[in-house]
Amino acid sequence: MNRKTWAALLSLCLLALWLLAGCSKKEAANEEQPATESASAPAPTPIDPATAASVSGSVKFDGAAPKPAKIDMSQDPACKGSNNVETLVVDNGNLANVFVYVKEGLGNRTFEVPKTSAVIDQDGCRYHPHVLGVMTGQNVEIQNTDPTTHNIHPTPQANREWNESQPPKAAPIEKTFAREEILLPVKCNQHPWMKMYVNVVKSPFFAVTGPDGKYELKGLPPGDYTLAFVHEKLGEQDQKVTLAAKDSKKVDASFKQQ
């Protein structure tokens, strides 16, 4: 009989242990606080203008540039002037229409969206500019100064697609792009040659090279950055640069015909 009593006692002990374990577990769970989400939007990260650095440079095209083809615009008599294919604009070895921006190195910084609108103008059945940089959420204003109807049709990957008609002299169309996207094509279905690219980035540190191939990024806080040079035809090049306070460095890039 003792044997049995012992067995029963043993099981009782186990039970007690188990109960204890169960209780302690519960207490532990209660100590944890329920999650609360931070609802407020992140405020722009301030940059000390005293330490701001800058990067500038020029972009070259290596090799002989093909002569830009002329576009036949006879399809629409309303398209005046002459128009060249803008996929590769090289002047004296200087490559235009290269979008330069800080690809990495800004961490989680956020920036204020400029109040001014970026403008795309349709004039002479071509887009001005051919390559545009904007910040996410920045207003883009599309104007039509041609005496013909255009339709503006961006075909993005990450943003929403739309396609709107704009008769001559119509009010400008105002749009924003919510998500980062590089080389977002915009076209006009009625004038198949019309094409441009919008680059949407999260920071204000971007530039498009002009006909002289030059660019400049100002107001950067010190740090290690990756600069990206993006060209619609020639692809992307990345370069690393380290900026100390008030630095102003030169970073050049050079593209080759592929």
Partner 1 sequence: MPEQPIPEQDPVVTKSYAVHYVVAMAILLATLFWALWDESFGQRPWKAFQHEFKDRYLAFLTTAKSKSQQSQKEITQSSDYARLEDNYKQARQGAQPRVDAIQKQLSDLNARILAVQNVFTDRRAYANALTYQIETDPSPSGKKNKQKDLDAYKAKLATVEFPDHSKKQFNYGQLEETYNQLRDQRTALSAELGEALKPVTEANAKLAEYVSDHMVDLTPAQIEGLHKKYADWDPKILQINVADANIVDRCESCHMGIREPLKITAAAMTLKGHKKPDEYAQAFVSHPDTDLLKVHDPDKFGCSPCHQGNGRATTSLEKAHGNYEHWLWPLFPKANVEAGCQTCHAADMVLVSGDVGWTISEGKDLFRQKGCNGCHRYEGYDKEPEELQSMTQQIKLLEQQKKDNSKQSASLMKQADTAETNAEATRFNEQAIALRVTNSKIDGQVQQFDFRSHSLMQDMKKIAPNLKDIRLKLNKNWIPVWLKKPTDFRPTTKMPNFRLNDEQVHSISAYLWQTGLTDSLPKQKAGNAAHGKELFETRGCLACHSIGEGSQLEGGTFAANLTRVGEKANYDYLVRWIHNARERTRPYCPYEKKDIGPEDYAKHGLPYQFDLQHSQCPNDGHELQVQNMTVMPSLRLSPEDAQDIASYLITQKKQEPSSYADASFMDDAKLRDEGKKWIRHFGCAGCHEISGFEEEGRIGTDLTVEGSKPIERLDFALYTEAAQRGGKDPITNPDDLARLPGGPAKGPWYDHKGFFEHKLAEPEIFDKGKIKSEEEKLRMPNLHLDQEQIRALTTFLLGSQETSLPASYQYNPSDTRKDIQEGWWIVRKYNCMGCHQFIPGQGTILMGMAQYKDVQEQLPPKLLTEGARVDPEWLRRFLSNPALSTTDTNRNGVRPYLKVRMPTFSFSDNELRKLVRFFQALSQQPIPYVPEQVPTLTAKETDMARSLFSSTAAPCLKCHATGDDAHDLHATAPNFLLARERLKPDWVERWILDPQAISPGTAMPSGLFRRENSQWVFAGPTPSSFQGYTRDHSKLLVDYIFQLTPEEQHRVAGAMGRTRAAGPARNRDQQAWHGNASATGGGSP
Partner 2 sequence: MDWRQLWDIVSTPDNVPIVALIPLLIFYCYLAWKQAKANDELVSELEADPVLAKTHHRKTWPFRPGWQKEVHVWPFLLRVEFLAAIIVTIILMVWSLTLNAPMEEPANPNLTMNPAKAPWYFLGLQEMLVYFDPWIAGVVMPTLIIIGLMVIPYIDTNPMGSGYYTWKQRKFAIGTFLFGFIVLWVSMIIIGTFIRGPGWQWFWPGQTWDHNRLIYEVNRDLPDLFGITSNWAKGIFGAVVVGGYFAVGGFLLHALFRRFNPKDYRRMSLLQYSVMQVFMLTMIGLPIKMLLRLALNIKYVWITPWFNV
Is residue 163 within the footprint of partner 1 (CB under 8 A)?
Answer: yes
Residue 50 touches which of partner 2, partner 1, none (CB < 5 to 8 A by kind)?
Answer: none
CB 176 within 8 A of CB 139: yes
Please give the backbone phi and psi of residue 34, each rounded to the nearest 5 degrees, phi first.
-65, 150
Per rule CB under 8 A, count of chain residues that contact partner 1: 44
Is residue 166 within the footprint of partner 1 (CB under 8 A)?
Answer: yes
CB 75 within 8 A of CB 125: no
CA distance 188 to 163: 9
CA distance 195 to 130: 7
Distance of closest approach, residue 21 Cβ to partner 2, in angstroms: 16
**Cβ closest to partner 2, residue 21 vs residue 69:** 21
CA distance 41 to 66: 49
Element (H, E) at 1: none
Is residue 34 within the footprint of partner 1 (CB under 8 A)?
Answer: yes
Q: Which of residues 48-87 bind partner 1 (CB under 8 A)?
A: 75-78
Strands of 195-234, DSSP E: 195-201, 206-208, 214-220, 223-231
Closest CA to 204 of 71, 113, 127, 100: 113
Distance of closest approach, residue 182 Cβ to partner 2, in angstroms: 57
Is residue 33 within the footprint of partner 1 (CB under 8 A)?
Answer: yes
Is residue 35 within the footprint of partner 1 (CB under 8 A)?
Answer: yes
Is residue 170 within the footprint of partner 1 (CB under 8 A)?
Answer: yes
Side chain identity at residue 20, one-letter code: L
Please, what is the Cα angle at 96 between 61 and 205, to 5 degrees? 110
Residue 144 touches which of partner 1, partner 2, none (CB < 5 to 8 A by kind)?
Answer: none
Distance of closest approach, residue 4 Cβ to partner 2, in angstroms: 6
CA distance 156 to 33: 43
15 vs 10, 11, 27, 207, CA distance in Å?
A: 9, 6, 18, 72
Q: Is the peptide bond before 147 cis (omega within 30 degrees of 0)?
A: no
Is residue 187 within the footprint of partner 1 (CB under 8 A)?
Answer: yes
Element (H, E) at 115: none
Distance of closest approach, residue 25 Cβ to partner 2, in angstroms: 20
**Cβ closest to partner 2, residue 7 vs residue 245:** 7
Residue 83 touches which of partner 2, partner 1, none (CB < 5 to 8 A by kind)?
Answer: none
Is residue 143 within the footprint of partner 1 (CB under 8 A)?
Answer: no
**Cβ closest to partner 2, residue 11 vs residue 75:** 11
The residues of the shown chain that bind partner 2, judged by CB under 8 A, are 1, 3-5, 7-8, 11
**Cβ closest to partner 1, residue 93 vs residue 124:** 124
- Applying CB under 8 A, the residues found at the interface with partner 1 are 1, 5, 8-9, 12, 15-16, 19, 22, 26, 29, 32-37, 39, 75-78, 147-149, 151-153, 155, 161-168, 170, 185, 187, 189-190, 192, 195
